[in-house]
A and B are shown apart, each in its own frame.
Chain A
């Protein structure tokens, strides 16, 4: 009884401070004798591996696996460049972690540069296996054209990335309701344009603006079109198991036709193509911009930063207006699987230990470590859940930068992000906005990418870049009114056929079928 109490006390202390986690988690040890593995870690935020990161210290202690920095190309922030340098040396370290690693593993994994992981996961990585069993599509998305998985991806969490934001105070000033349909939106934007909601007597309002001009064609979703199937602009999308390209659909044509009209009527920032990344800052702080489609967190932040400057400033999220078909579509969501992550080098002599090490970051302890940092330092457990300490959240420095510094949230690792980590420091208006979107079901399935084989890739490389260039040229020309979409559409479609777009869709489809089919 006495002994039991003591043990309980020790356990309680351990849980509270986390100073000796090894004691409590001896089962996480991968090897009895310390094992050293070489590692290449390259991400724009960290172009080398640092074994002194607090997160690494804990990982070392828990797993008994010690990583040793062998990063090539630390002097560049371009991870693909570093990867090419590494590959060109011909000698790969045991672990290769990098941003945009997928292209490399897809191309060189089958050539033997990286180890296939499927069997290793099956036999030695219960947590990763459990994750992929639950999310088979993500496994497929990360796999290469030969069906093998060559890297453990970084898997973002959270659903909504961008949302529509509108000046609620302007709506109020003009006595308007939040637009519910595309037609109402048209009326609201027209009112923004013509009725001087900022009250300075000049018709200088910019009803719809965007930091990225690609957020303008995004509006074709209001007419049933598509602009992209993933968080990357101009990407393919899937509809009923068929690969489609967004800029070839009827809804897109209809949308562009209307956007050209909106543009001509001044409902869209006339400088949308050149104003660039500072446009949101400028147009909001000058009290000129009325509506945009942008990230929740950063956009909502203006409610605080401009509260003093513009009395009554209220720039908040609105749900997607109903499109012409009566659907509400939030086309943009956080991607589920990233091409970033880590892989095992083809010459690694400890593949089993390595995959176990990868698996560690999918275990509850490892996932907490990589998402929240070190227990007792950055977070404490409250009601069984990690909670950032007050001190950590309020010391005035951005939470994410602080986490990067200690080696947490390093996206050159393969790990499953916990949205909770971001939620704990998100702006209140952003959370409100996301909440608003969560209530509806606006998301549409993401296209997670395909891995093409060499022949497919050749066809894709030959045609796609140029076809895409052509489509973007036409898109801007139509919106700017330099040409008429209605008149040119048939010629446009047949030109795309000549440019091999149908061949591209065909190889994409065959790759898709191989990867996700069955």
Chain B
């Protein structure tokens, strides 16, 4: 298995630049997810790796070969498309065999591969069917099967689950994860859905406006977003963010916003920061209903309770900023009705420079 290396990859259409220079190292067998809002350049980056788009500038290597000018077929990559790109006139078996036949793989070998892959994907009984006669999930599996039979060096996934309904998506997510474990092929996966990114990725690459915002493991991104963009993008519901000013409080520095003071963690970077304009970020998961050791209270007004079952989302506001909290229900929501304050530990409070949006310091 090969790694994939992007150095200063740029994509320009005429004078319009859509990918501004991406540096990324993907290790062999790693599962990397490119995530970001639509138009952030993640698909373009993937297509450059596949060879479907020309690379305007920079170097792409797969293993130790520079691939910039190598034809797609010689890059030894396989791609799964958003709309599956199944050939409507071919049945499942022929769809999967397509790439192998193009490569003039011996017949018995093709048959063997297909049988094997069909087994893995649970498609054995559908091999004679045409795509039109398959369900969405089955089609998705055929699309993956088609990639798998080729035994490529690198799998490329371009939003492969976005056409499926929510339940099927969860199911397929797990299946992809299982497959990756089993096959251990280097995989690059593009999605705009951060849940997919979090659940699938070894490492996530968050992109915005043609740039990489942050690269890291899912937990890394969750806990230590490097800027307000990543903080807002990763996590569901997203991190609460509001403007504040740092002040000297009783037990150290506090952030004052909307008439509330929030105690801050003791960080090297904050020394002498009183008066600094910041953005305070607090994850909905990081608030408590009751006071605990070391927590401080934020007075809120409750607007709405969204019940999810074992958890509930409290939509509240602090002054004129909305604030969402995710709390456990323990099977009932009666006790949530009268909530008028939320509690947070200082070390859970993230701080970002208001000017640049960059994170200030790192907490545990």
Direct contact of A and B (CB under 8 A): no
Binding site for A on B (CB under 8 A): none
Binding site for B on A (CB under 8 A): none
